[in-house]
Amino acid sequence: MRVLVTGHRGYIGSPLVDRLKTAGHEVVGVDTELYEDCTFGRDKDSGVRAINRDIRELSPADLEGIDAIAHLAGVCNDPLGDLLPETTYEINHAATARLAKIAKAGGVRRFVFSSSCSVYGAAGREWIDEKSEPNPITPYGLSKWKAEVDLRRIADASFSPVFLRSATAYGFSPRIRFDLVLNNLTAHAFTSGKVLLKSDGMSWRPIVHIEDIGRAFVAALEAPAEIVHNEVFNVGITTENYRIREIAEIVEETVPGSRVEFAAGAGPDKRTYRVDCSKIARLLPKFRPQWTARRGARELYSRYKEYGLLLEDFEGARYQRLAYLQSLIARGAIDGNLRWILPITTLGPRTARSLKSVC
């Protein structure tokens, strides 16, 4: 199968490409390389044909010969969505719907969409499954939900969208994100000795390793159409729902000499939810997740030691998505719609962009 992976150089996309290749699929990537200068550790060429183009600009010609799409590219979190709500809707919602229509017209039969459990909003203490009513409370969550609605409308016998609502991700990637709870708490513990909680730690979060998200994509791409057609799957493991305080305790037990501390003014977090992931386990038997929070904390700690993470690194502009994009906008490298000021095709390696000083 020839699979187009949008965002193939991103946090989840980078390991997904390797997993798809291992499974025997041919991969074509799409990425604007916004985060090219933010690689942590050793990066490597993905070894696939890449289209250096914004997903808003993809054309039917770009999809020729494509059998399926794994669509990950987009504005990736709530802080970015809050900063640029209109751009978030333009990319996550409108561009996704446009790409799906082009794909359908071009004969692409499977469209696996990277959605998010953020579409459920502040669900409280109740368990959430795929039948729970979405109630997004942020521009990011709303953009994902609107995209789902539009994709569902164009599903038919020739075009099968699949919706993967992933739990909060964690795990190592060359394009690692430090704004994710387990990655962040382990980084704080490693660099400062403090497992720093910025809330009271009582809210619930489902978490899932990026490798297991990759396993879900492969399973959804390979499953028979009658199993996944227009279906929603929560991606994770039901037993991997934790209170934030429990995640902090796991990190404290993992990183020698660290201790849990609360930031000044730490209070309740209204974002609290627990997600049931039994549907994906039941319907997609090829999805066999391997990771737990404890194993993930050990992996992160090991990688931070290997590559020498410093506090100023992960708290600075280089590895914080919001701060990094703000720095690019301030320098005139990209505009407020997250487009490069210079055409992507004229830009060379990261040094040619003269952006290393912001990192």
The string of pLDDT tens digits covering residues 75-112 is 988 888 888 899 999 999 999 999 999 999 999 999 99
The string of pLDDT tens digits covering residues 3-35 is 999 999 999 999 999 999 999 999 999 999 888
Instruction: Name beta bridge partners: 241.
Output: 206
Instruction: Name beta bridge partners: 6.
Output: 30, 71
Burial (CB < 10 A; 0-12, 13-18, 19+), residue 256, is exposed
Helical (H) or strand (E) element with 247: helix 244-254
pLDDT, average across residues 186-197: 96
pLDDT, average across residues 148-171: 97
What is the model's pTM? 0.93
Residue 330 has pLDDT above 80, yes or no: yes
334 DSSP 8-state letter: B
According to DSSP, the β-strands at 241-243 and 204-209 are antiparallel
Chain-centre distance for alpha carbon 289: 17
pLDDT of residue 297: 98
The string of pLDDT tens digits covering residues 125-146 is 689 999 999 989 899 999 999 9
133 DSSP 8-state letter: P
Find, among 17, 236, 246, 3, the residue nearest to 129 by Cα. 236
pLDDT of residue 79: 84
pLDDT, average across residues 258-263: 94
pLDDT of residue 346: 46
Angle (nearest 5°) at CA 352 between 351 and 353: 90
Q: Report the C-alpha dihedral over residues 37, 318, 182, 217, rounded to 10 degrees.
A: -30
Find, among 293, 291, 241, the residue nearest to 123 by Cα. 241
pLDDT band at 42 (very low <50, low <70, confident <90, very high): confident
**69: helix, coil or strand?**
strand
Q: What's the token pair of residue 351? A: 């040094």
**305 or 344, greater pLDDT:** 305
Could you give all domains of the chain from N- to C-terminal order, each with its CATH number?
2-358 (3.40.50.720)
CB 21 within 8 A of CB 27: yes
